Amino acid sequence: MQVHTTIQQLRAAIAARKQELRATLLDREPRVGFMPTLGYMHAGHLSLIDRARQECDIVVVSIFVNPLQFGANEDFDKYPRDNERDTRLAAEAGADFVFIPSVQEMYPQYPTKTKVVVNEITDVLCGASRPGHFEGVATVVAKLFNIVQPDRAYFGQKDAQQVAVIEQMVQDLNMPLTVVPCPTLREPDGLAMSSRNVYLSEEERKQALVLSQALKLAEDLTATHAGSITAEELRSRLESHISTAPLAVIDYIDIRTYPSLQPVETLATDQPVLIALAVKFGRTRLIDNTILNRR
Ligand code: PAF
């Protein structure tokens, strides 16, 4: 596996690998799979690399803590970083190239003059709580897509709104690639895997289980009351459950169509519905979600 820190080196290395593979793949072009990450990898990231390995000929992983998607009072400086460990894990999981650019390499002029703005679906959920966040995500992902030129790009469904934003951007800007959403990986007790889980104290970690429990409750309630339970009733049941954790400070509990993120009144059975949670435990903000009636 190769590690590259400059755009020029990475592009040259991918081009050379493609050229080598063309000799063996006689009837088609080599397929490039890409997984952008903020690093500090966990099993969820590795499952995406594994999926890319199965579906593609070349697997590229980027590790870049993107300052453009962090707000002024957010955790950019203290976001956990361990490039050495990440590089080893990515190699073990089957990556061919790891790209670790500096901020200067990605943004010779910071803040960048050109930004990618996806409207409407970024006004709600995390977009409402973290103004500018999705502009930063869409901009860096567009840049990374231009650098790597993948055929398939893999994203975790834990960031369901991010997946919706990136799919919208790819569609609107005619980017020639497929976005592949991958299921959220959970710890054995249900907590969704996240690099930010390392911030949690033992007590916060224990109480954070209310998130996955609330989502299970939502799935059970909608299965038994499909077509009759209103979104407001469901929201209030989830709020009561999450509030049993004294340390939980709810940012949002929201129920929306997916991926268009329109408000929902009554839980229908024939339309994908996102149940999304964002809750703070101490200084750590966790998100989790489930998508009902997925097609
Ligand atoms: O989900 C993430 O890890 C980041 O938002 C991403 C997609 C790597 C962009 O910086």
pLDDT at 278: 98
- Tell whether 119 and 246 lie within a shared domain: no
pLDDT at 270: 80
Rounded to 10 deg, the angle between the 83-93 and 43-55 helix axes is: 40
Contact between 100 and 83 (Cβ < 8 Å):
yes
User: CA 95 → CA 72, 104, 139, 240, distances in Å?
Assistant: 33, 24, 24, 43
Contact between 204 and 249 (Cβ < 8 Å):
no
- Tell whether 170 and 253 lie within a shared domain: no
- Tell whether 105 and 215 lie within a shared domain: no
The pTM of the full predicted model, rounded to 2 decimals, is 0.96
Q: What is the pLDDT of residues 7-58, one digit of tens each?
A: 999 999 999 999 999 999 988 999 999 999 999 999 999 999 999 999 999 9
Structure tokens at 278: 């964002």
Task: Please list the rounded mean pLDDT of every run of 10 residues in the chain (295 residues).
Answer: 98 98 93 98 97 98 98 94 98 98 97 96 97 98 98 98 98 98 97 96 98 97 85 97 98 97 87 96 97 85
Residue 107 lies in a domain: yes
Residue 45 annotated among the catalytic residues of the structure: yes
Q: Which atom of ligand 1 is nearest to the CA of 137?
A: 9
Domain of residue 152, residue span: 2-182
- Element containing residue 234 per DSSP (H, E): helix 231-242
Choose which residue among 122, 130, 133, 141 to substitute to test ligand 1 binding: the one with the highest number of ligand atoms within 8 A of its C-beta.
Answer: 141
- Tell whether 144 and 217 lie within a shared domain: no
- Tell whether 199 and 252 lie within a shared domain: yes
pLDDT at 152: 98
CATH number at residue 100: 3.40.50.620
pLDDT at 226: 74
pLDDT at 227: 74
pLDDT at 85: 98
pLDDT at 118: 98
Pocket (CB within 6 angstroms of ligand 1):
36-38, 66, 69, 137, 140-141, 159, 162
Phi, psi of 156 (to 5 degrees): -75, 140
- Tell whether 42 and 136 lie within a shared domain: yes
CATH number at residue 256: 3.30.1300.10
Contact between 264 and 257 (Cβ < 8 Å):
yes
- Tell whether 133 and 211 lie within a shared domain: no
Catalytic pick from 4, 42, 45, 225?
45
- Tell whether 26 and 152 lie within a shared domain: yes
- Tell whether 66 and 171 lie within a shared domain: yes
Distance 37 CA to ligand 1 centre (A): 5
